[in-house]
Chains A and B, each alone.
Chain A
Amino acid sequence: MADSQPSMHEKLAALRSQYAERIDARVDDLCDLLDVFGDANESKRRDILQKLREATHKLAGSGATFGFPGVTEHARAMEHSCVDALNGDDNIEVGLVDRLRAMSDQLRKATETQSTETQSEAEKFSTQQDGTSVGREDNPHLHDSSRQDILIVMEYSAEQERQTRLELAHFGFNVRIVDHPQKMIADLKAHGGVDIIITGVHFDDSEDAAFKALGELREHSEFCTIPVVVYSEIDTMTSRLGAVRADVKAYIVKPVDMADLVNVMDDVTERHEEEQFRVLVVDDDESLAQHTEIVLQSAGMETRIATDPMQIYEVLDDFSPELILLDLYMPGCSGQEIAAIVRQREEYAGIPIVFLSGESDKDKQLSAMELGGDDFLTKPIRASHLISSVRIRVARFRKLRSFMVRDSMTGLFNHTTTKQLLDNEISRAQRAKGSLALVALDIDHFKNVNDTYGHAVGDRVIKALARLLRQRLRSADIIGRMGGEEFAAVLPDSGVNEAGRVFDQIRKAFSEIMFHTGDKSFNVTISCGVADFPRYDSATELSDAADKALYAAKHGGRNQVVKAQ
């Protein structure tokens, strides 16, 4: 527990500055509600009060947690006034709005005063923002939350070292470099562990030194879990085999764009907070199904049992499993037939189906596979065998599915998926009477970048922006690449001001990232249009409003964020 405390403090500080960045705009959204209060009729006023109540309740509940005790205090006062007014029998008087407005002024003042603990973090952040006290190379203007430490064991020259350091700093990494594998462990001991190690393999005209050092690394308990990536010009079978044996997570052959390297590093260091695997067990024998279920649940999977194969579609739609375990012999219809039925539905054509049966006749097993099964497990089966068979297939299915829903270059959601997720979020906001913001984003003069520097450089710009968006937005936010240089973001629970504020910071940060090609350096700007629900209350209206705002931003001179009011 003691070990995790410092990183917890860092993470908290990052969350706090993220919260601090948004809070002002959240108060703006409250004030917008108050602005329409005076002109509204009685039922609309109740609506507004209810919204105000929910918003202030949230602020009251979160303020002090993120270092703003004053926000909690004043938001709570506003919440109480709203509750009193809502519970009163009388009509809601207009005078209330003035009192609420006075309170919101106090609330706004409170957003400016962070508790001392967070102050230092905020100061650090603001000095970084205006770039006065920190050198440019160390100051990528990115959010601190995902800053990672890397140790690089370099194969070559000082010039390359300088360049690598510079580029990785722009992507928000803290870089340490040594020039020989022998120095790796000493550096870790002297300066502490890192999140990832990148190493070349060609030293002293052989590959032995690098792999020997990695072997030694694994003997140090405090460093043995650090993921290692090989980044080298050498691409031979012996060197790749050495890498596999040294438990290297990825092998990247130079030359490769820094953005690609960064993507690989993101994959490798990804914190595994993955969703549970969802497995559907179809077996007419309930006690057998339950046994299977317990085995899978013990491995942390989520399961559902269907004992009536005729209801398979209902269960599929309700549970959306990622793998189906199917008994071969059931009354009514056989496992093969069920597999064929499942495959008839387009959306389930790719789901792994595994037969689990006492059938040991190889021919019968094969004929079951012909009808759409992926594998055949023979009962009785060892629990560990069942678990790993299922785990491997689900993991592969997820990977495949991610190719269908994500844009291959950036890893962001693709156009179709983003639209679907926007619809989902709108329905959710409708049900919860909540809000959401949609941002349409476009890189300025992108054609010029491609024409001047070539498409490879253009791609780098796009990847850098994708990465910045991922870094700056919350995990609940949806980020999509809509095509070419167009992006979109859906921010649940946010109004137009909050989203506008966040994207203005992203705009600023992006404009300050330098891109390098050959001996030239340049920077690129973006324009954004922001609109929010329920001001625009359908996906079409919301998208149109965000697009119009983006259009206005382009015509207003680009490099700006325009809010649809």
Chain B
Amino acid sequence: MSNSELSKILYVEDDPDIQVVAQMALETVGGYTLCVCSSGQEALDQAEAFAPDMILLDVMMPEMDGPTTLGNLRKMDSLSVTPAIFMTAKVMPSDVERYKELGAVDVIAKPFDPMSLATRIQEIWGECHG
């Protein structure tokens, strides 16, 4: 991939509490540009115009869950290979494998530590482009 700098992250999360703390963690600490969406549908509407370098999705959301959202995003040409990470409160080793099969490069467990979230994202990004 030619562009190896992570700058824009599409972030999909329905819980406002988590939204605000993750946004802070990624924008203030990580210095990334975020497009925050509160639902899968919003993400589908915003994704192409925002053209993210990475997608970060909550798994369990009402209406359209994370995996379905990712599936729909993948149908867009410009997002067919964008690295995606799931965030979920339920991480079993078997789940991680399943999420990876769904096209995620990694899974971040919730609850997360706000101070190290950006570092973790950067690590995963590094692995994608290593």
Contacts and interface: CB of A to CB of B under 8 A. Distances in A.
Given A62-B15, A65-B114, A11 B62 contact: no
Nearest to B14: A432
Interface residues of B, number: 29
A48 interface: no
A433 B17 CA distance: 18
Interface stretch (B23-31, B67-75, B94-102): B23-31
Nearest to B8: A300
Contacts of B17: 15, 19, 58, 62, 66
A188 interface: no
Interface in A476-496: 476, 492-493
A57 interface: yes
Given A11-B24, A297-B51, A432-B14, A57 B112 contact: no
A303 B49 contact: yes
A72 B62 contact: no
A399 interface: no
Given A11-B28, A65-B114, A433 B62 contact: yes
A76 B14 contact: no
A475 interface: yes
A281 B20 CA distance: 33
Interface string A14-26: 0100010000000
A63 B46 CA distance: 29
B89 interface: yes
A433 B62 CA distance: 8
Given A72-B111, A493-B16, A302 B24 contact: no
B123 interface: no
Interface residues of A, number: 36
Helix, strand, loop or mixed for chain A's interface? helix
B20 A4 contact: no
A8 B115 CA distance: 8
A12 B89 contact: no
Interface in A37-74: 54, 57-58, 60-66, 72
A54 B65 CA distance: 13
Given A1-B29, A61-B88, A65-B113, 8 more contacts: A12-B114, A19-B17, A54-B62, A57-B60, A58-B17, A61-B15, A64-B111, A65-B114
24 contacts: A4-B28, A4-B29, A4-B31, A5-B29, A8-B24, A8-B28, A8-B29, A11-B24, A15-B20, A15-B21, A15-B24, A19-B17, A57-B60, A60-B110, A61-B89, A61-B111, A62-B111, A276-B49, A276-B50, A303-B49, A432-B63, A474-B20, A493-B15, A493-B16
Interface of A: 1, 4-5, 7-8, 11-12, 15, 19, 54, 57-58, 60-66, 72, 76, 79, 276, 297, 302-304, 431-434, 474-476, 492-493
Interface of B: 14-21, 24-25, 28-29, 31, 39, 46, 49-51, 60, 62-63, 88-89, 110-115
